[in-house]
Amino acid sequence: MTDLLANLEPRPLWRYFLELSKIPRASKQETAAAAWVVAQAKALGCQVEQDKVGNVLIRKAASPGREKRPVVAMQAHVDMVCEKNEGTAHDFAKDPIKVRRDGDVLRATGTTLGADNGIGVASALAVLADPDLKHGPLEVLVTIDEETGMTGAKALAAGWLKASMLLNLDSEEEGELTIGCAGGVDTTCTRKLSPAAPRAGTVALRLKVSGLKGGHSGIDIAGWRANSLRLLAQALDRLLARYALGLASVAGGNKRNAIAREASAVFFADPRDEAGIKADVARLEAEWRAAFGTFDPNIAITLEAGSAEWVMSAADARAVVGLLLAGPHGVEAMSPDIKGLVQTSTNMGLVETRAGEVEVNFLTRSSIDASKYALAARIGAIAAICGFEARDSNGYPGWKPEPGSGVVQLIQQVHAELFGKPMEVKAIHAGLECGLMRENYGTVEMASIGPNMWDVHTPDEHVSVPSVANFWKLLRAILEKV
């Protein structure tokens, strides 16, 4: 860590970030990371509380003479999306993130970096540790489990926060001021299987789709990136129509809120058909590369030896492939009010085959609640036609923009003073915890800021070092201005 810190500024912020990166903090497994946050805050002499689900609230008294200033809260989430490249030897339950510098960015080695939202947590702690910052009363709210349902924010007790202004530190583009976001709901589709023994004389083969960009299912959903689950279904549909295959399993995607980068299926085939299958696979790869072009240029589809003990029935196989083909994925509607903003979308994020059943997960987002639930209902109807049972869960509201609020005007003024221009005010299609906090803290004015980071929720996640320095300047200046 010492070598990494040598030329990183602001040094306190990066020190906290690199220390946090040593602690496993997958969603729903943040106990150790939250305890570390508590320990850092207590070491700084701050008042610390932790609620029953694990959220941490830190309070720091105002600088002398600023006691009557408004209370300002900074908010970030401590969990991270844990995704790795196939073949990367990393256990997210115990291994530290291997952070490395690549020019002006920091990356991880074969895994997600956790800058989303480790940078937010680290910057809030660095604020508390800054002896030179002149500020009013401060609160820091560090939530758990943002990435898999926002259960930490859902559990916040009314009245716990005292702030009249909240700065969410979970945005990912420098120079942009986020003042609204989409809500979301998960739909989990499950089908019981009727397993049988493979046909005598057949061999197990594994069909794999890989090389895709993937990405954040809110931020990158409009980028027309390929979804490995959809491509896998297209391949299986073609192969099942031409060959007498026994489908054993389908699997793919790593997180509900990440566009699936890799997927695979194991099936049994007559050895005499293997050459034909390989030729069809090669043609599919060429077709897909031509179809997606620069949107996703490195698509690969490969065939290798597989392993399985049973196969699905023919009806099961048709149902599974049918749902993956017919289920929605991608942009459903654009906003009629905000140019370039996705209003409604679905991410077909995960499929898993386990003993006796297949499960497919969809995450639907929309800034319009009625549209969100209408699309979830359509997914449920398609699932029913394909013989799956559908269940909705983890619903959360959107955050309505308030461009005329005081916090927006304040941040715009500070940014113009520092950098000579106002920020671009925007709403995003991704989810932020502000929508949920609006339910419990309806009078709090909120806005979200952050540095440049790219390819979050994928092993290509990276964060800009110069941008973090600018973000730090902005955050300090806002707090001094209040």
Radius of gyration of the chain (CA): 24
Distance, CA of 6 to CA of 465 (rounded, Å): 13
Are the beta carbons of 448 and 158 closer than 8 angstroms?
no
Say what the alpha-carbon torsion angle 223, 230, 293, 333 is, to the nearest 10 degrees: -30
Domains and CATH numbers, the chain: 2-182+398-481 (3.40.630.10), 196-394 (3.30.70.360)
Are the beta carbons of 222 and 331 closer than 8 angstroms?
yes
Binned at pLDDT 50, 70 and 90, residue 192 comes out as: very high
Is the bond leading into 470 cis (omega within 30 degrees of zero)? no
What is the percent of the chain where pLDDT is above 90?
88
Please state the pTM of the whole predicted model.
0.80
Distance, CA of 279 to CA of 303 (rounded, Å): 10
**DSSP states of 320-377 as a string?**
HHHHHHHS--EEEEE-SSSTT-EEEEEEEEEEEEETTEEEEEEEEEESSHHHHHHHHH
Q: Which residue has the higher pLDDT, 441 or 362?
A: 362
Q: Which residues of 180-205 are buried (b: 16+ CB within 10 A; e: fewer)?
A: bbbbbbbbbbebebeeeebeeebebb
What does DSSP say about strands 263-269 and 246-252: parallel, antiparallel, or unpaired?
antiparallel
- What's the pLDDT tens digit per position in 155-189? 999 999 999 999 999 999 999 999 999 999 999 99
Binned at pLDDT 50, 70 and 90, residue 392 comes out as: very high
> What pLDDT score does 342 carry?
94
Token pair of 224 as six digits: 């027309």
Please provide the average confidence, as pLDDT, over all residues in the chain: 95
The mean pLDDT value for 86-102 works out to 95
Residue 429 pLDDT exceeds 70: yes
> What pLDDT score does 2 carry?
61
Distance, CA of 268 to CA of 257 (rounded, Å): 32
Residue 436 pLDDT exceeds 60: yes
Token pair of 434 as six digits: 């502000």
Are the beta carbons of 261 and 84 closer than 8 angstroms?
no
- What's the pLDDT tens digit per position in 281-339? 999 999 999 999 989 999 999 999 999 999 999 999 999 999 999 999 999 999 988 88
List Cα–Cα distances, 241 to 235, 246, 314, in angstroms: 10, 12, 12
What residues are labeled active site? 79, 146
- What's the pLDDT tens digit per position in 239-290? 999 999 999 999 999 888 899 999 999 999 999 999 999 999 999 999 999 9
Distance, CA of 130 to CA of 106 (rounded, Å): 23
